[in-house]
Chains A and B, each alone.
Chain A
């Protein structure tokens, strides 16, 4: 029986076929056992003996999760995390011994979880699934951003000004006043913006603009 206090586990979203778990650990026996565990959970897995080997390898085409040891010869796990900053790699740390500052540092730098060995299969698999889900999400939003940015580039400078005012919540009359134009002209620009951005509501426009990194006026 699951504990009545346990949070309801969200039904796992089906993972794309190209999802991958990558284990980086210098201990051969750990790599073998983790690979076997992920296979038993039907998660495609790849293992690498060092951080350097991970950096030398081509980035994953699909969603992925990095299961990373901390203490390794050469480049250690925390350094690899720094090297990967901004690349959106989802990391689950698996350390032989974790102290609080080390764990806090890793989490602050965006790790999905920080687990210690020996790790229970459920804990590890939950963390890895969560990381993969995040990876999927991130990839989707990244795709969305790219799309929004492309659309914004089709706007004229005047239309871009209008967009910034619209997402700032200004009324046509206010925008006309601000841009020193007729309210009617603004109305036309506004319609064009909605069309070019492929949205039907202001709310949607706000979301897409934000995704593209556009600041309100």
Chain B
């Protein structure tokens, strides 16, 4: 076809066996003009011929184009490399074919499948270039749409895989990142996620395109969208393309949508165990848009994935809360058993303070006060007061119901704190404590009170195990050591040990040797240690007595 068209315009084309009748040539030319944009440029690149189709698509008139070069329709879309390749081929006398994005007079773009044929002149440069372009803008648009569609499909397909096995603490970030991908993928502007807290839908996650004002703090949906949030909480899906579609009774909602700049909106309730616990919404803010059925289905799929992930996370959080509550009740129960010993622990500093203060008053009353003695007295009072304060602080920490926080702590310090707490208790039972604490022990990330609780449990069990042991032999050995990235702490008693056949069930719930014990202590200890990524173990010492130990990953 190129050859024939060249015949028409050029006249100097390659020798061809087929000669057309001039009439046929005219027909072909007419047909070509109907089908394609045709242009011819001279050796300097100036346009010397264009057909009507060229003018129609480029929106320029013949007059505007003749004498210009092709840069007039350059869209700037293609790389320099692309253009160099084109010119290199033409300079070498080769035909160039490719798809080019051009710009029309009004600034809009159009795609053309282009064939450029150089007709060599006497010199090295081509004498003329004949270009035939077919408008493929619509095909390009469809291709792009299809590619986007495929990309979205892939995104949706990968979405559920993305959340599988994701640790709970990473879920929030993954949700917001997914919101970003969906907003980008669907060419939207904002996605918000609301979750129920105290029967109110509260904003928990959102992502939006830059340039929009930040959404203020944790806001409740009912405050701004009373009509809509009531429907959503009943589990109803809702979408609109224009705020004007909202019914009159949703006046407050419409006002808020306008205030927040949301033009089209889609809200999908999130279900867990048949109950609505949240809402996922998407908004278009630049322009109004229609929601296609397939889009709605896809967004509903996203909502379903979010519901599963968040439902699981909420369940895990709930389980964690229950575990913490159980650990707390066990702490309270343990401390209850220790009341007498703890009272003694407080009593000592109080007794010291009273005697010191009364001694000071006597010295003062006699007027024979030695300033040095008085200073020492006050120092002792202050020290005792701090000691009592530390006991109270320790107690309060163990009794508090606040969620426990992890901090880096030293197991050696923990051992000392627990021994202070149990000093009177162990003394009363004639138990001697020997400690071997590693000096260069790495620290661990742990909830202090929970590990204290584990140690208190170990020590009280050890004390209990030696009830039948003669006073002089009642001893507990505590040891800390560093073991290839882990920290180990062991507590050994000098009692009669654990019957070998029962070693395996020591950490099971309801295992107890006490007449009134619930048998939850060691079971809770194991949950605490495992929750810290550690291990709890027990065995009997070759020379008698049981050993309980925990192994925790070091932070350093």
Chain A interface (Cβ < 8 Å from any Cβ of B): 26-27, 29-30, 32-34, 36-37, 39-41, 71-73, 76, 96-97, 117-121, 124
Kindly identify which residue among B347, B359, B362 contacts A117, using a CB–CB cutoff of 8 Å: B347
Answer whether A29 and B359 are a contact pair too, CB < 8 Å, given A36-B377, A73-B427, A97-B343: no
- Asked whether B359 lies within 8 Å of A119 as measured between CB atoms, the reply is no
- Asked whether A97 lies within 8 Å of B344 as measured between CB atoms, the reply is yes
Answer whether A119 and B347 are a contact pair too, CB < 8 Å, given A36-B373, A71-B424, A71-B427: no
Asked if B157 is at the interface of the complex by the 8 Å CB criterion, the answer is no
- Asked whether A119 lies within 8 Å of B356 as measured between CB atoms, the reply is no
CA gap between A33 and B377 in the complex, in Å: 8
Chain B residues with Cβ under 8 A from A71's Cβ?
344, 424, 427-428
Kindly identify which residue among A30, A72, A120, A124 contacts B352, using a CB–CB cutoff of 8 Å: A30
Chain B residue at smallest Cβ distance from A33? B355
- Asked whether B348 lies within 8 Å of A96 as measured between CB atoms, the reply is yes
CA gap between A128 and B366 in the complex, in Å: 20
Interface residues on B, range: 20 to 34
Chief secondary structure at chain B's binding surface: helix
- Asked whether B359 lies within 8 Å of A36 as measured between CB atoms, the reply is yes
Asked if B383 is at the interface of the complex by the 8 Å CB criterion, the answer is yes
Chain B interface (Cβ < 8 Å from any Cβ of A): 340, 343-344, 347-356, 358-360, 362-363, 366, 373, 377, 380, 383-384, 387, 424, 427-428, 430, 432
Chain A residues with Cβ under 8 A from B353's Cβ?
33, 118
Q: Shortest 5 CB-CB distances between A and B: which pairs?
A: A117-B351, A40-B362, A33-B355, A121-B358, A118-B351
Chain A residues with Cβ under 8 A from B363's Cβ?
40
CA gap between A186 and B299 in the complex, in Å: 131
7 contacts between A and B (CB under 8 A): A27-B352, A32-B352, A33-B359, A40-B363, A71-B427, A76-B430, A121-B354
Known: A33-B351, A96-B351, A118-B350. 17 other contacts (CB 8 A): A29-B380, A30-B355, A32-B356, A32-B380, A33-B355, A40-B358, A40-B360, A96-B348, A96-B424, A97-B344, A97-B347, A118-B347, A118-B354, A118-B355, A121-B359, A121-B362, A124-B355
Chain A residues with Cβ under 8 A from B384's Cβ?
29, 33
CB distance from A150 to the nearest CB of B (A): 44
Chain B residues with Cβ under 8 A from A39's Cβ?
359
- Asked whether B355 lies within 8 Å of A121 as measured between CB atoms, the reply is yes
Interface centre among A26, A40, A97 (most CB of B within 10 A): A40
Chain A residues with Cβ under 8 A from B350's Cβ?
117-118
Chain B residues with Cβ under 8 A from A33's Cβ?
351-356, 359, 380, 384
CB distance from B251 to the nearest CB of A (A): 71
CA gap between A30 and B363 in the complex, in Å: 18
